């Protein structure tokens, strides 16, 4: 999830906020809370994560939380070759529940993440969590106009499981289970006007993820396996400095394609932005050699034509 606010407004409103604030729904309060000294600092891949436990976050085991933060940061560092920003404030809010409930990333007053963690979250639920990795992927790309939210959410949906697999935190089967079950929700429905003009949940999150998978495959094909979407995203991250920057779609596409020496992003964007452009997902997954068995197990077929690309996506 991403939230934006005009930078100019931020300073204006923060000055007059009352001190009592148990409600961190307002991003200005997130920044206020992160303004005080960190309860802990987690370092990963050249980045500094300043962890603040909101109002003490009573009921949360801090060691457990910090282990989880380090693991999520490690996945993102593995994917991008370094942590995507030099500094981020991470506000951890304790609430009811037995898992990591939700997260939001902000970029308008320095990089910041707000995450709500259930007090009954156990080691297994922390290890399974994808939310914090998803939010940390959001740190990598610049902010963009609202109509391109599908690229920001789609890239986080696509990269999060891949990053965790590259860091050996989950199995490749888990990456492809997400794709097999999730991507059908990203297909255009009746009345669709292309990714730039259809801001539904399915198109934003999973339509964007389909775009990323198609881009990843095409870049690998056109570069004979030497380049991938990871190279494009990494180059965009380095050139922009991450989510405190604000880029146009033209800048994103140009930098990504320059990095891979292809025109893949430009071509796919032209195809999918302003027209429905459905993807034959069953045919695509068959070509990649991956399917779900009747019992729900992920089955690989290494003789499928795109199987080498499928394996390369999760192989470090
Ligand atoms: Zn998101």
Distance 295 CA to ligand 1 centre (A): 30
Distance 21 CA to ligand 1 centre (A): 25
Could you identify the residue written with the tokens 């994560």?
49
φ, ψ dihedrals at 73, nearest 5°: -65, -35
Whether residues 43 and 114 fall in one domain: yes
**What is d(CA 244, CA 114) in angstroms, rounded to the nearest whole number?**
16
Domain boundary (138, 161, 182) is at: 138
Domain boundary (138, 171, 192) is at: 138
**What is d(CA 216, CA 233) in angstroms, rounded to the nearest whole number?**
10
3-state secondary structure of 94: strand
Distance 134 CA to ligand 1 centre (A): 6
**Which residues, including other chains, have CB under 8 Å from residue 2's CB and lie 6 or more apart?**
104, 105, 106, 107, 138, 143, 149, 152, 153
Nearest to 137 by CA among 117, 156, 111, 115: 156
Whether residues 121 and 153 fall in one domain: no
pLDDT for the residue numbered 18: 33
Distance 160 CA to ligand 1 centre (A): 10
155, 133 Cβ separation under 8 angstroms: no
Distance 169 CA to ligand 1 centre (A): 20
Distance 205 CA to ligand 1 centre (A): 8
Whether residues 191 and 92 fall in one domain: no
Distance 306 CA to ligand 1 centre (A): 29
Whether residues 15 and 83 fall in one domain: yes
pLDDT for the residue numbered 218: 98
Could you identify the residue written with the tokens 């180059």?
235
Distance 13 CA to ligand 1 centre (A): 25
pLDDT for the residue numbered 12: 38
Whether residues 75 and 166 fall in one domain: no
Tokens of 102: 């939700």
Contacts by 98-104, CB closer than 8 A, 24 or more apart: 98/122, 98/125, 99/125, 99/128, 99/129, 100/68, 100/125, 100/126, 100/129, 100/131, 100/132, 101/131, 102/1, 102/131, 103/1, 103/131, 103/132, 103/134, 103/135, 104/1, 104/2, 104/3, 104/27, 104/135
Distance 294 CA to ligand 1 centre (A): 31
Distance 76 CA to ligand 1 centre (A): 14
3-state secondary structure of 105: strand
Distance 153 CA to ligand 1 centre (A): 5
Domain boundary (91, 106, 138) is at: 138
pLDDT one-digit tens code per residue, 224-257: 999 999 999 999 999 999 999 999 999 999 999 9
Whether residues 278 and 240 fall in one domain: yes
Whether residues 269 and 162 fall in one domain: yes
Distance 297 CA to ligand 1 centre (A): 27
Distance 28 CA to ligand 1 centre (A): 19
Number of domains into which the chain is organized: 2
The tens place of each residue's pLDDT in the chain, 316 residues long, gives 776 554 444 443 444 333 323 478 899 999 999 998 999 999 999 999 999 999 999 999 999 999 999 999 999 999 999 999 999 999 999 999 999 999 999 998 899 999 999 999 999 999 999 999 999 999 999 999 999 999 999 999 999 999 999 999 999 999 999 999 999 999 999 999 999 999 999 999 999 999 999 999 999 999 999 999 999 999 999 999 999 999 999 999 999 999 999 999 999 999 999 999 999 999 999 999 999 999 999 999 999 999 999 999 999 7
Distance 2 CA to ligand 1 centre (A): 5
CA-based end-to-end distance of the chain: 27
Could you list the residue range(s) of the whole structural domain that residue 122 is in? 2-138
The one-character DSSP state at 37 is P
Distance 72 CA to ligand 1 centre (A): 15
Whether residues 134 and 264 fall in one domain: no
Q: Is 255 left (phi over 0), alpha (psi -120 to 50) or beta?
A: alpha
162, 154 Cβ separation under 8 angstroms: no
Distance 305 CA to ligand 1 centre (A): 32
Whether residues 243 and 288 fall in one domain: yes
Alpha helices in 87-171 (DSSP H): 123-128, 131-138, 149-166
Whether residues 249 and 160 fall in one domain: yes
235, 256 Cβ separation under 8 angstroms: yes
pLDDT for the residue numbered 3: 67
Whether residues 150 and 72 fall in one domain: no
Distance 224 CA to ligand 1 centre (A): 31
pLDDT one-digit tens code per residue, 35-60: 989 999 999 999 999 999 999 999 99
How many CB atoms are closer than 10 A to CB 91? 25
């Amino acid at each position: 999830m991403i939230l934006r606010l005009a930078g100019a407004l931020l300073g204006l409103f923060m000055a007059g906020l009352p001190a009592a604030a148990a409600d961190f729904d307002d991003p200005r309060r997130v920044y206020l809370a992160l303004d005080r000294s960190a309860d802990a600092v987690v370092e990963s891949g050249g980045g500094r994560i300043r962890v603040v436990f909101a109002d003490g976050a009573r009921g949360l085991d801090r060691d457990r939380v910090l282990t989880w933060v380090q693991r999520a940061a490690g996945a993102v560092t593995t994917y991008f070759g370094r942590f995507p920003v030099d500094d981020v404030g991470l506000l951890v809010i304790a609430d009811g529940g037995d898992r990591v409930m939700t997260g939001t990333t902000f970029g308008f007053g320095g990089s910041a993440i707000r995450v709500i963690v259930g007090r009954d979250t156990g080691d297994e639920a922390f290890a399974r969590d994808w939310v914090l990795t998803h939010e940390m992927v959001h740190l990598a790309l610049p902010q963009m106009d609202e109509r391109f939210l599908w690229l920001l959410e789609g890239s986080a949906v696509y990269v999060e499981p891949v990053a965790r697999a590259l860091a050996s935190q989950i199995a490749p089967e888990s990456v492809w289970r997400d794709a097999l079950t999730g991507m059908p929700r990203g297909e255009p429905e009746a009345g669709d006007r292309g990714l730039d003009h259809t801001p539904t949940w399915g198109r934003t999150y999973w339509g964007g993820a389909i775009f990323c998978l198609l881009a990843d495959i095409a870049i690998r094909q056109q570069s004979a396996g030497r380049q991938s979407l990871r190279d494009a995203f990494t180059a965009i991250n380095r050139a922009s400095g991450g989510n405190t920057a604000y880029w146009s779609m033209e800048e994103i596409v140009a930098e990504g394609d320059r990095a891979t020496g292809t025109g893949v992003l430009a071509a796919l964007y032209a195809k999918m932005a302003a027209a429905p452009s459905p993807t034959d997902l069953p045919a695509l997954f068959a070509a990649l050699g991956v399917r779900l068995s009747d019992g729900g197990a992920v089955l690989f077929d290494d003789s499928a034509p795109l199987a080498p690309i499928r394996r390369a996506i999760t192989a470090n």
